[in-house]
Amino acid sequence: MTVAPPRPPASQDRVAVGHGGLVAPLAPPSKKRRSPLWARLTVVLGVLLMLASGAGLAGGKWVLDSTTSAVTQQDLIGNTKKTTTGKGGDPLKGPIDLLLLGVDARKRWAVDDLRSDTIIVLHIPASHDQAYLVSIPRDTQMQVPAFAKNGYPGGVAKANEAFFHGAQNGGGWAGGAQLMAETIKANTGMSFDGAAIIDFAGFKGVIEALGGVRMCVKQRVKSHHMVWVDGKPLFLAEARKTGKPTKPIWHEVGCKNMEGWEALDYSRQRYGLTNGDYDRQDNQRQLIKAMAKKASSTGALTNPLKVAQLIKAAGKAFVLDTGGVPVADFVFGLKGIAANDLVLLRTNKGTFAGNGAGRETITPESMEMFKALQEDKLGEFIVNHPDVIANEKQP
């Protein structure tokens, strides 16, 4: 059984968000046990790593070992992997940076006909007492490097198109992720310890296993992907095949418990929202946290059989790269981590920074934020730039 590394001293860069968005350094954490970090991050590591929150779970390591075979593992970061790790070469010590890519993979679409519309960097500082999510806008214009593995010559494209180009000619999802990672490194300087590809369509099974999740709709929005047919929600292509009358699906303002299809459909909308893709990013992060919260608040994580069910369901929803660290070791090597609320950071302050051609540029301030991430100084950066913190107010 892998033993968790000793908890490092608290970082002076830890920050807290107060009323009015004010930011101030946090005092060293108390000895009182907080919610484990991974249970509050993302289902990619959340449903998998939420097992870490059940530190006292009898047979927990055995349950994890027996169920991680359901998780597909591939090399997703290629030559963007960091050249240095933590003390003694241990990747679980020192700062950790993971690239999270969301795709909408439906059965009728070819494996290489996908774009990654969700691009998030998860940063954990060396102190392991804080966590940050930084989104990269899908429409950001980037220089995409040549990709020898499938013959792609390189060129200028939107950020989400890099995944598509890497997946062509046999590259598959792993090729798409590798070229995306190389593109981000070439344009921002960031490199990674690991990565995950999230299939949002595959999350349905996870949410159903949880019994639904509580979501808050901030803006009334019409679904551009699904409609009602005889009282049942269907994707547009499936609805057309029935030849029956359809009714639009509207997501109304307010908080409610959503079934899997409803939560996923809402989190995919961007047309009709005030800030387009930026609002969609907020809704997807809300879904991620809602799933983690539901699992940790229902007692599911203290039930070995329920944990196994969640892990198996999650295994169908993503592909994981832990940088060569066995998944079970990765989980238990971090089980002692405690954290304050996850800090969500906005690239370009959450507004479209157009270049006149329907694409975005990265503002100088956001480039400074990326540099601070690389240097493990995000806490210091936030103190000087508090407006980069995303507003998570609910309706």
CATH number at residue 155: 3.30.420.590
Name the nearest CA neighbour of 23 among 331, 385, 393, 390.
Answer: 385
What percent of the chain stands above pLDDT 90? 27
Residue-number span of the structural domain to which 201 is assigned: 15-209+299-378
Examine residue 258 and state whether it is found in any structural domain, yes or no.
Answer: no
Examine residue 255 and state whether it is found in any structural domain, yes or no.
Answer: no
Q: What is the pLDDT of residue 316?
A: 67
Q: Is this structure's pTM higher than 0.75?
A: no
Examine residue 323 and state whether it is found in any structural domain, yes or no.
Answer: yes
Examine residue 65 and state whether it is found in any structural domain, yes or no.
Answer: yes
Examine residue 254 and state whether it is found in any structural domain, yes or no.
Answer: no
Low-confidence ranges of the chain (pLDDT < 70): 1-71, 83-92, 105-114, 200-202, 292, 295-312, 314-317, 326-342, 356, 391-395
Examine residue 392 and state whether it is found in any structural domain, yes or no.
Answer: no
Examine residue 349 and state whether it is found in any structural domain, yes or no.
Answer: yes
Examine residue 310 and state whether it is found in any structural domain, yes or no.
Answer: yes
Q: How many domains is the chain partitioned into structurally?
A: 1
Q: What is the pLDDT of residue 320?
A: 78
